[in-house]
Amino acid sequence: MKHTKTAIYPGTFDPVTYGHIDLIKRAANIFDKVVVAVAHNKSKGVLFSVKERVEMLEDAVKGMDNVVIDDFDGLVVNYAKKMGTNVMIRGLRMISDFEYEFQMALTNRKLAGDIETIFMMPHEDYSYVSSKLIKEAATLGADVGNFIPKKAEAALKKKLSKKRR
């Protein structure tokens, strides 16, 4: 019998970027199933609701049969256990991400030593792209269509136009 392996890729995805999608595609080529887990994480000051972020991701991964979009609240290690996996994917864009991600991985290891964190780097075309940067640029009127999918771009424009009123 074939052993199937599931990995989760947790994050806020506020909004989803082409860097996120790059990691999802590459993880989907390695693992039998990838669960992209949208964190509720109210402390990060998200622009989009969980439902909106899930919908943007669902649109972005259409056609990737082994990718599932879900959401979770609470500790990511508890969510991983609930999903029956011991593999978590985290993205590293620049060296500046490393300290935070390393600290989080070590904390998660203390909380749940059976869960492994695998770091993946996006393609260099997306190595500088972050959701925060995209939101800031869009707020200042930049065209962000080269960084995020069309549905996410439309949702971002709509959300920002409401904030300006």
The pLDDT assigned to 164 comes to 63
What six digits make up the tokens of 23?
Answer: 């990691």
Catalytic residue among 5, 40, 110, 131: 131
- The Cα 69–Cα 108 span in angstroms is 22
The pLDDT assigned to 31 comes to 96
3-state secondary structure 58-120: HHHCCCCCCEEEEEECCCHHHHHHHCCCCEEEEECCCHHHHHHHHHHHHHHHHHCCCCEEEEE
- Please state, as a whole number, how many other Cβ atoms lie within 10 Å of the Cβ of residue 48: 22
Catalytic residue among 5, 44, 123, 157: 44
Q: Is 44 a catalytic residue?
A: yes
Domains of the chain: 6-164 (3.40.50.620)
How much is the pTM?
Answer: 0.91
Could you say which residues of the chain have pLDDT below 70? 1-4, 44, 163-165
The pLDDT assigned to 82 comes to 94
Q: Is 53 a catalytic residue?
A: no
Average pLDDT, the chain: 91
Catalytic residue among 53, 90, 93, 135: 93
The pLDDT assigned to 127 comes to 86
Catalytic residue among 2, 3, 5, 20: 20
The pLDDT assigned to 1 comes to 35
Which amino acid, 139?
Answer: T
- The Cα 11–Cα 4 span in angstroms is 23
